[in-house]
Chains A and B, each alone.
Chain A
Amino acid sequence: MHIDTRERNYIVLSVLLMLIFATALMVSAFAYGIQVPVPYERVDPRTVATPGASPWGNPVEERVRELAPNKYEAYILAQAWVFLPNKITIPKGSSLTLYVTSKDVQHGFNIQGTNINMMILPGQVSTLTATFDKPGTYNIVCNEYCGVGHQTMYATIEVQP
């Protein structure tokens, strides 16, 4: 069977690509232990903000909590068009675990100047832990269009020196 040189090259290339991707998949799974993201937690968006029902129902000033020195967690409720709490103050070098959920529509959660970027869906909890080594003010912006007030939806993380 005659195969044109160019055609054969492309066939070889596509098979090679498949092999490279399959190898990369195996290496990342077995050698590095990288696993697919799984749902962290589900909540009922209708009751999530009810006081006492969940950590997002706590008073706003109690939603950022110091677990131990330099270890913080924040339960942030995204709603149209505000993040609550909208100001988080932590010392430099702290690790901050974010638990973010929405009580109405889909929102975005992006900390500018970092690679922290999550989609916030009602009923789902998005979580991520980050360490803030550089002092300064970090802006959290909503980067998923969520309504007429979308452009005003932001919050800040103040990392103290």
Chain B
Amino acid sequence: MTSTTTPAARPSNPFTAPVWLIFYSLLALVALFVGIFIVLRPVVVLPRITLAPGFRLTDQTGAQLSNEDLRGSITLYTFTHTGCQDNCPQTSAVMAQVQARLDELNTGDIPVRLVTISIDPENDTPEQLAAYAAQLGADPAVWQFVTGSPVQIKSVVGGGFSVYYNTREDGIRFDPAFMLVDGAGLWRAEYRTAVPDVDIILRDINLLAEEAQHADGPSRLAYEAAHLFLCYPR
């Protein structure tokens, strides 16, 4: 007899075909699922940029408005000042367009709010903002205009939303921007242009509402997977 044993004498190896087969097919199944998810993108979400800044400012009626008051509603922020005339990005015109098309949204019972933050707090008093709001036809239940102290505004607009503005003798200059914040207070989208596509803003608001309405229970996993695999709208 040689030193190699006969098959019958060897101890049976538990790691033969069936277990490995199950392991590899499970792995393949997971890979297939991930592949299908990434290619077909059954769920599309907006990225979670970071926590939106907290604030407590004064609105055009003189009442306080804080970020906590906007919890539970989807909020679109923009920045301007009442002296913004010629040669100045007209962010309020875009907000007015969004306000006019709010009824096209299907956000269910999730309210949508618009907030314009004045970047010229030294000149923009609540009374002045109220006149500006009336001139734009702003619905006070939906669209609010807020102001505060220069330090507060700088920390919210510059520190929080990273939007640059400066107030010099030759006028106020600012980068036009629109920011979308969800009901949980997370900053979800930014549109750093004077002329964003309103259709895209409305689509994004719908996406946020859809996620807030459906992402609970097992379907939450699908939404988290969409975040993980960067299934962002194109």
Contact = CB atoms under 8 A, between A and B. Distances in A.
Contact of B158 (A2, A29, A38, A68): A68
Contact of A38 (B159, B162, B230): B230
A73 B230 contact: no
A2 B163 CA distance: 69
A73 B162 contact: yes
B230 A68 contact: no
Contact of B230 (A30, A35, A66): A35
A109 to B, nearest CB: 20
Interface string A56-96: 00000000011111010100000000000000000000000
B159 A71 contact: yes
Interface in B210-234: 228, 230
A10 B158 CA distance: 57
A67 B159 contact: yes
A36 B228 CA distance: 10
Contacts of A38: 230
Contacts of A29: 228
B33 interface: no
A156 interface: no
Contacts of B230: 35-36, 38
A67 B228 contact: no
Contacts of A65: 164
B4 A68 contact: no
Nearest to B154: A68
A29 B230 CA distance: 12
Nearest to B13: A1
Interface centre among B158, B163, B228, B230 (most CB of A within 10 A): B158
Contacts of B163: 67
A117 interface: no
Nearest to B151: A69
A88 B172 CA distance: 24
Interface string A134-159: 00000000000000000000000000
Contacts of A97: 162
Contacts of B164: 65, 67, 73
A68 B155 contact: yes
Interface in B155-198: 155, 158-159, 162-164
Contacts of A66: 158
A68 B159 contact: yes
Interface string B130-155: 00000000000000000000000011
A2 B159 contact: no
B106 to A, nearest CB: 29
A36 B164 CA distance: 28
A29 B224 CA distance: 11
A81 B158 CA distance: 32
Contacts of B158: 66-68, 71
25 contacts: A2-B4, A29-B228, A30-B228, A35-B228, A35-B230, A36-B230, A38-B230, A65-B164, A66-B158, A67-B158, A67-B159, A67-B162, A67-B163, A67-B164, A68-B154, A68-B158, A68-B159, A69-B154, A69-B159, A71-B158, A71-B159, A71-B162, A73-B162, A73-B164, A97-B162
The 3 A-B residue pairs with the shortest CB-CB distance in the complex, in nearest-first order? A68-B159, A68-B158, A67-B158
